[in-house]
Amino acid sequence: MQTLNFEFPADRPPARRAHVGVAGSGDLEVLMTPGPAGVARVRVRTSVDGFDTVWRVVLERFFARHRVAAGFELNDSGATPGVVTLRLRQAVEESMEEGSA
């Protein structure tokens, strides 16, 4: 088990918390909580060691397009980069929907 921490510039606060995905084989759970303006903080807990560079690149690409100021907890069970991006997009979409629970 490996834990990775990242920070990215962010200027778009989400409307609410979001929870998408599950921490199961080949999938990813994303817990997103509104955070302080100016930064997105990401903590990745992964069952697959040695992919620090891949995580960094995938997250850099995502946060270059989606500058969401929030805290992200990613619980990974071997998700591919495509699944990571999909789950992050789902969390952002869910967090921007006003009034949904």
Task: Identify the pLDDT of residue 77.
Answer: 93
For the chain, how many structural domains are there in total?
A: 1
The answer to whether residue 31 sits within a structural domain is yes
Q: Other CB atoms closer than 10 Å to residue 36's CB: what's the count?
A: 12
- Helix (H, G, I), strand (E, B), or coil: what is residue 72? strand
H or E element in which residue 8 lies = strand 2-10
> What stretch of H or E contains 58?
helix 52-65
Question: Mind listing the pLDDT tens digit for each residue in 83-99?
Answer: 999 999 999 999 987 65
Both tokens of 87, joined, read 């789950």
The domain in which residue 15 lies consists of: 2-47+69-93
In a domain, 57, yes or no: no
In a domain, 85, yes or no: yes
At 87 the pLDDT is 97
Say whether 19 sits in a helix, a strand or coil.
strand
| pLDDT of res. 99 | 57
pLDDT at 96: 86
